[in-house]
Amino acid sequence: MSKRKLKEDSFTNQECISKVQRTLRERFCLQNPNGKLFGMELQYKHLLELLKRTAIHGESNSVLIIGPRGSGKTLLTCHVLKKLMEGKQVRDNTLQVHLNGLLQTNDKIALKEITRQLNLENVVGDKVFGSFAENLTFLLEALKRGDRAHSCPVLFILEEFDLFVHHKNQTLLYNLFDISQSAQTPIAVVGLTCRLDILELMEKRVKSRFSHRQIYLMNSFDFNKYLNICKEQLSLPPEFPEKSFTQKWNKNIQSLLEDPKVQGVLQNQFHHSKDLRSLFKLLMLASNSITVSHPYINASDLLESGKLCRMDSKANILHGLSVLEFCLIIAMKHLNDTYEEEPFNFQMVYNEYQKFVQRKAHTVYSFEKPVVMKAFEHLMHLELIKPVEGPSVCAQREYLLMKLLLDNSQIMDALQVYPNCPTDVKQWATSSVN
């Protein structure tokens, strides 16, 4: 009987842990419009009011949401659209078009995507239009229900807005802003960008038709607010099915965030970047350690996650190099120090390496030139070095100019933890430039 009960408890715990992981992953990995907005209450009200005027009152608008990457531009837009679409009348009568500058690389592709999202492929059919403007105008006219007062509002959400500015003649933007200023179909154009100089990139005719409404997003919260965000993101909601587990979990999170070591990790993350996506990455790594035998996050999990987040990927590649390849990296370091970051070629690196071999009189470090060349090419494949851009003067690979993509601190840090690194190589790396 006791064994059976133990099995049942184990099953319940396993089910509970999987629910916890699912809940946390949905928060950290998805742009969840059911989540909370942090420090964007005013911007939320402003954008919601603008889009309501278009969706309910038929008033055309245009606005730019400007902020650094990770500041919550997309999340803010998702929250506003979710709130706006709660009303049945708005949901039934308002159309949305989502474009992205990374995907719609020119106006022709963008127009096809608009047609697809508005389900107007059958309307357009085989008709041929003289210009992009005529095609776009026809598409919007096709949405009208009778007269202008009863047209169907359309919300255009343009992510990576600055990339649309680089389209030829900025035709798409010109026509969208032009329609938003006329008494045609009511539309709202919402552009999301991280470029502060976005208005300077617009042509005069485009800028004159833009409303110049701008919403700025900045992660302006302090460290105490940052801790509260951590707590809210890691805590389980009241509707979580296992009530007793929820209480224990939330109590554990409270004590965890009061730990000085944990606060130190979070403070480092806060000073490095206030981007909430980087915080969610840290918390996600910590939550990955949760298992049935280890059901709660502890301080060591967060400390380990902090190390993983701060880990230098290029320095990690150095740990897996052979001694010969590391010697070539050190030779390049000395050449950089001697010639003040000027490009070098393989022959220069080989000569520097040969000086080291002759000085130490060690046959153990001596390799034939083709072997050294192979090691040099391997470093190029690993992207630790790269050819200098521009036309090559000489086609011979020995004399192809290269640039080292590592700085001295990365090399020296990797050297300290390099497994079984020979003493001679360490001394050569730390020695002054010859």
Q: Give me the helices (H) in 311-402, please.
A: 313-319, 323-339, 346-360, 369-381
Instruction: Indicate the SS3 state at residue 188.
Output: strand
pLDDT, tens digit, for every residue of 125-146?
555 556 666 777 777 676 554 4
Q: Are 143 and 95 in contact (CB under 8 A)?
A: yes
Instruction: Indicate the SS3 state at residue 155.
Output: strand
Q: Say if 16 falls within a structural domain.
A: no
Of 310, 339, 371, which residue is a domain's last? 310
Of 216, 243, 269, which residue is a domain's last? 216
Q: Say if 151 falls within a structural domain.
A: yes
CA 403 to chain centre: 27
For residues 399-419, give the mean pLDDT: 85
Q: The domain containing residue 320 runs over which residues?
A: 315-430
pLDDT, tens digit, for every residue of 160-185?
999 999 988 898 899 889 888 876 77
Of 310, 342, 374, which residue is a domain's last? 310
Cross-strand partners of 214: 64
Pairing state of beta strands 187-193 and 61-66?
parallel
Positive or negative, the CA dihedral 12, 18, 20, 26 is negative
What's 196's domain CATH number?
3.40.50.300
pLDDT, tens digit, for every residue of 300-342?
888 888 888 777 777 778 888 888 998 999 999 999 888 888 8
Residue 72 and residue 188 share a domain? yes
The tokens of 299 are what? 């301080």
Q: What is the CA radius of gyration of the chain?
A: 30
300-326 b/e with 16+ CB inside 10 Å = b? ebbeebbeebeeeeebeebeebeebbb
Residue 253 and residue 372 share a domain? no
Is the pTM above the cut of 0.75? no
